[in-house]
Amino acid sequence: MEMLKMIGEMAIGAVVLLGACIGAISAFGLIRLPDIYLRSHAATKSATVGVLLILAAAFLYFLLYLDHVSVKLLLGIVFVFLTAPVAGHLTGRAAYRSGVSLWKGSVRDDLKQEDSSAQGPL
């Protein structure tokens, strides 16, 4: 029983550490990436995964060591999973519609209209 407890603690610690590392990579991406569209990608994808891993580790801790199913943590996981990517998408879309230019190294603009009669971004 003591061995299982130690393995569980190590697994939970590894999940927390992985989530923290992914969050740090996300912060590094926010600093280093050149435009709002790439920064939005770093903020929504990796930060969401990092937060979800940390919340999942907290949920596992409560479940395995306190014998308590935390509905608040489950709701937090679902809320972050649904809202963070949507918020990032809407931020990028609003930036595009307001005319924020793409990074000069961008090779593709999927939202750009093909005809020359277009009045700017969608």
0.85 cut: is pTM over it? Answer: no
Contact 59, 74 (CB under 8 A): yes
How distant, in Å, are the alpha carbons of 7, 69, 113 from that of 63?
Answer: 15, 5, 52
Contact 121, 99 (CB under 8 A): yes
Contact 34, 21 (CB under 8 A): no
Query: CA-to-CA distance for 53 and 104, rounded, in angstroms?
Result: 34
In this structure, the number of other CB atoms found within 10 A of the CB of residue 12 comes to 18
Per-residue confidence of the chain (122 residues) as pLDDT tens digits? 788 889 989 999 999 999 999 999 999 998 998 888 888 888 888 889 999 999 999 999 999 889 899 999 999 999 999 998 899 889 888 988 888 888 888 787 777 775 444 455 55
